[in-house]
Amino acid sequence: MASKSNGLEETDWARAPPPSGPIGGRIARIFYNPDDGSILGRTPKRWGIALVFYTVFYAVLALMFSLCMGGLFLTLDENKPSYILESSLIGANPGVAFRPRPVDGVLLRVSDNGTNTYVTELRQFLTPYENETWFTTKSGCSVEDNYGFPHSPCFFIKLNKIYGWTPEYYDVSELPSDMPSDLVEYITGLQPTEHEQIWVSCGEEKPNATKIEYPWGMGLPGRLYPFRNEPGYNSPLVAVKLTPNESNTTVSIRCRAWAKNIRYNKSLKEASGYTRIQLQIEGSGTEEIEM
């Protein structure tokens, strides 16, 4: 006689032997069993219960996720990052950059037959500045003269934007001992009201008698800092005009930004506080620049 365990007959626990018949029929019964009407091992009722359960389960998960994301977004400021300056990944030392950028690699190859790309990039880059009062008063290095290309190209030096970064200016009586003499002369010739600027100087890494000019001056106006994500904000620029002594010679120009809180490291591996322009004016010919 079959014994009982917990009020159930052992026969209630016994697994029925697999149905006999050809293998194709047995496989078909997995998908649909006509004996109990089950589909893939579940009756329509059990499938309905499972569907309701998982629908409610994932709906609750989606609701909890939405509440968490909603709470997170409520803590964010659309106009200000959560972490700024030293507490952010960017840090508090702005990078120095220039335009136009090299088409390929790091060397800018300029020729009479290859200036259109650079002129077009500068025209697009400077378009947002056309409504800036300080920009419209500048002369030289303009679209009217193709920004000096190809023989005396102009480059525009700027600082990368860091939210909330405020420059610390050098006092005229305490200028760094390694500051170039032409920059010192420029600074001392300005009015005291013009001394609150981030200074920019450029020099050759190896002497090649390249002529370096600053048609717009040698400073980034301090009144345009700090950057606080204002609509329409454009980083101030210093225009640098380079005229190599001879063609087909590569010149390397290092442009450095000067402020008390801009760290300068001349190492190429961990460079900071400056940018490098590698320029080669080569060939001759003609090309009409579309205006």
Q: What angle do CA 151, 159, 92 make, to 5 degrees?
A: 155
Q: 176-183, long-range: CB within 8 Å, 24+ apart, which pairs? A: 176/258, 179/258, 183/218, 183/258
Q: What is the pLDDT of residue 19?
A: 60
- The predicted pLDDT at position 171 comes to 93
Mean pLDDT of the chain: 85
Question: What value does the mean pLDDT take over residues 232-258?
Answer: 91
Q: Is the pLDDT of residue 149 over 60?
A: yes
* pLDDT given for residue 252 in this prediction: 92
Using an 8 Å Cβ cutoff, are 107 and 182 in contact? no
**Residues near 232 by beta carbon (within 8 Å), at least 6 away in sequence:** 128, 131
Query: pLDDT of 69-105, one tens digit each?
Result: 988 888 888 888 888 888 888 889 999 999 998 877 7
pTM tops 0.85, yes or no: no
Superfamily of domain 85-281: Na, k-atpase alpha subunit. (2.60.40.1660)
CA 97 to CA 272: how far, in whole Å?
Answer: 11
Which of 21-30, 78-87, 195-204 is predicted with the least confidence, judged by mean pLDDT? 21-30
Query: Which distant-in-sequence residues (6+ apart) come within 8 Å of 234 by Cβ?
Result: 128, 129, 132, 135
How distant is the alpha carbon of residue 212 from its chain centre? Answer: 29
Question: Which range among 27-36, 85-94, 106-115, 120-129 has the greatest average pLDDT?
Answer: 120-129
* Cβ–Cβ < 8 Å for 242, 211: yes
Angstrom distance (rounded) from CA 215 to CA 204: 18
Task: Give the length of the chain.
Answer: 291
pLDDT at residue number 106: 80
Tell me the per-residue pLDDT of 208-233, one tens digit each, with 9 for 90 and over.
889 999 999 999 999 999 999 888 89
pLDDT of residue 14: 57
